[in-house]
Chain A
Amino acid sequence: MGMTITEKILAAHAGLDEIRPGQLINARLDLCLGNDITAPIAIKEFEKAGAQQVFDKSRVCLVPDHFAPNKDIKSAEQCAQLRRFARSQSLVNYFEVGQMGVEHALLPEKGLVLPGDCVIGADSHTCTYGALGAFSTGVGSTDLAAGMITGQAWFKVPEQMKFVYKGTPGPWVGGKDLILFTIGRIGVDGALYRSMNFSGSAITALNMDERLAMCNMAIEAGAKNGIIEPDRITLEYVSSRAARSYKVYSSDPDAVYVETFEWDITAMEPQVAFPHLPENAHPVSEARDIAIDQSFIGSCTNGRITDLRLAAKVMRGKKVAQAVRCIVIPATQAIYRQAMEEGLFEVFLDAGCAISTPTCGPCLGGHMGILAEGERCIATSNRNFVGRMGHTKSEIYLSNAAVAAASAVTGRITHPEEVLS
């Protein structure tokens, strides 16, 4: 019986020739990740356990990105804790404000996650790296502490699901739309405990930024991981970034899946997820005329250069509607520089957008764009739970960057074509 890419990576990291869903394994880790919210608890557990050293100072990565640059005194204390630990452990991959970016945009960009890797991160969106053909999954702080000490983690081998996207995505449809559509079909627990294997001609057509956005939201369907087999586009992306060797895995033709979905997405519209769950996906045409107070373009889902280019394409020569605040947050310093050099900032500034240094900020209601009672935001982030971005009586609609930009211009949820025509 064949195995999927996920099963092969887990087997290789557990030192086994073959594994099956349901089996408990102990896997070797290529990288452990923590941030300013989750790492403080992990560091406390690390110290409480009497551990002296991390298993490998180049394979433990800490990124203060959630409430950084420090939003208040308590956040400053948490970031200071990371800094102290990183220094005392001589961590190679600690990224200070000024170097840091939103972790799941930063790590692939720096070549820290590579195809075939097995990665845990104390952040649920660690599943993003599946776009590189790696097994990566979110865990809690205690799992991170154990991983930092032993370089290993226990997993129950997940059941495998297959998603095949046929056809060619339209001009305003990308990874975000495919994943919102998928979650809309299977629900926020539709892939609970399972792997989501994404394939098909529409996936092949996506660039790395789009694929990262897609795998980023596998967790929003409850999945343990989302993954795309490496192809020419993946290898082009990693070859200039990799500082260590990596292995490309692919699924066997006779791999076993508990469920398979096939969709032709050629005619698909951009998708918008209505409050208060990512599964409330609708074509953008069904959302038109919903007035907004804020548009947020950024986050580990859609704060990459592809997203900023799309937003700028829509906004060029336009103004943000008077009743709307539009907040643009490039996800990393490199993306920030690239956007600046390409003149995208000029477009955003002319339109009346606020541009911020990289941070997770508003996505989780941290800072840089919190919502008041009754306010409505269209956001390129990944969660629209009650109170996620602020007041419990505020609302979040999730979309891609082009729709968020078009909506900022008109002041209501809008298809990009409408602004450009």
Chain B
Amino acid sequence: MTLKGKAFKYGDNVDTDAIIPARYLNTSDPAELAAHCMEDIDADFIGKKRTGDVIVARKNFGCGSSREHAPISIKAAGISCVIADTFARIFYRNSINTGLPIIECPAATVDIEKGDEVEVDLEAGLIRNLRSGGEFRFEPMPDFAREIIEAGGLMKYVMKQKGA
């Protein structure tokens, strides 16, 4: 699967309060959550993002709370994937479980700037920055995580295991 979109660029330690502030956690409706995605870190995000766009950040993306509302709001906002140097562990799990593609690729996050057109081939493990011409390889997800995603998320995977 190839994803293509404009990059929204952020720094280190983008926390889950920045991704979706707790004041909106009185709902779990994806569309409502998406309407406030990244609101406290980037007021322009919601107005400017288009379906397929990518979020690019540096280390420890998604640190803080365990709220699954964070990957849910990013996915429902139409973001096709998040590229970062590293991800906080609960956010990483939650992204796999909810089917939001996440990629660890420090070389790409250095090269990609705000507004760059980015192409991502998930199977081949390749990121292309169409502005700079830079190409960056990344490790595909661990087999176990891919099995979960291929099953259609953790719940379908678990129910399949349970039934088997």
Interface on A for B, CB 8 Å cutoff?
24, 37-38, 40-41, 44-45, 48-51, 66-67, 71-72, 74-75, 77-78, 121-124, 126, 138-143, 145-146, 149-150, 154, 156, 188-189, 192-193, 219, 222, 224, 277, 364-366, 383, 385-388, 392
Which B1-38 residues have C-beta < 8 A from chain A? 13, 15, 17-18, 21-23, 25-28
Query: Do A154 and B144 touch (CB < 8 A)?
Result: yes
* Docked complex Cα distance between A345 and B51 (Å): 54
Given contacts A72-B26, A189-B13, contact A222 B93 (CB under 8 A): no
CB contact between B64 and one of A75, A156, A383 (< 8 Å): that residue: A383
Contact B17 A383 (CB under 8 A): yes
Q: Are A140 and B22 in contact (CB under 8 A)?
A: no
Query: Are A189 and B41 in contact, CB atoms less than 8 angstroms apart?
Result: no
Residues of B within 8 A of A78 (CB): 26-28
Among A74, A140, A219, chain B packs the most CB atoms within 10 A around the CB of: A140
Q: How many angstroms from the CA of A222 to the CA of B65 in the assembled complex? A: 11
Bound CA span A328–B69, Å: 29
How far apart are B82's CB and chain A's nearest CB, in angstroms? 15
Query: CA A417 – CA B90 in complex, angstroms?
Result: 39
Whether a CB of chain A sits under 8 angstroms from the CB of B109 is: no
Taking CB atoms and an 8 Å cut-off, the chain B residues in 30-74 that contact chain A are 40-41, 59-60, 63-69, 71-72
A178 to B72, CA, bound (A): 35
Contact A146-B155, Cβ < 8 Å, known A24-B144, A38-B68: yes
Q: Which residues of B contact A77 (CB under 8 A)?
A: 26
Considering only CB atoms, which chain B residue lies closest to A74 in the complex? B26
- B64 near A149 with CB under 8 A, answer no
When A74-B27, A150-B158, A386-B41 are in contact, do A142 and B94 touch as well, CB less than 8 Å? yes
The total number of A-B Cβ pairs within 8 Å is 135
With A50-B159, A365-B23 known as contacts, the answer to whether A142 contacts B63 (CB < 8 A) is no
Residue B97 is within 8 A (CB to CB) of chain A in the complex: yes
Q: CB distance A193 to B89 under 8 Å?
A: yes
What residues of chain A lie closer than 8 Å to B86, measured between beta carbons? 189, 192
A192 to B13, CA, bound (A): 12
**Chain A positions within 8 Å of B23 at CB level:** 365-366
In angstroms, Cα B90 to Cα A139, docked, is: 6
Tell me the nearest residue of chain B to A382, going by C-beta.
Answer: B64
Task: Decide: A38 near B66, CB < 8 A? Known: A139-B93, A385-B15.
Answer: yes
Instruction: Give the CA-CA distance A121 to B63 in the complex, in Å.
Output: 16
* A313-B18 Cα distance, complex, nearest whole Å: 37
Contact status B89-A386, CB under 8 Å: no
CB-CB under 8 A from B153, the residues of chain A are 142
- Across-interface contacts of B17 in A (CB, < 8 A): 364-365, 383, 385-388
Bound CA–CA A78/B86 (angstroms)? 32
- With A37-B67, A222-B60 already in contact, 13 other A-B pairs whose C-beta atoms are closer than 8 Å: A24-B142, A24-B144, A41-B28, A140-B90, A140-B97, A140-B98, A142-B153, A143-B94, A154-B144, A156-B142, A188-B13, A387-B17, A387-B18
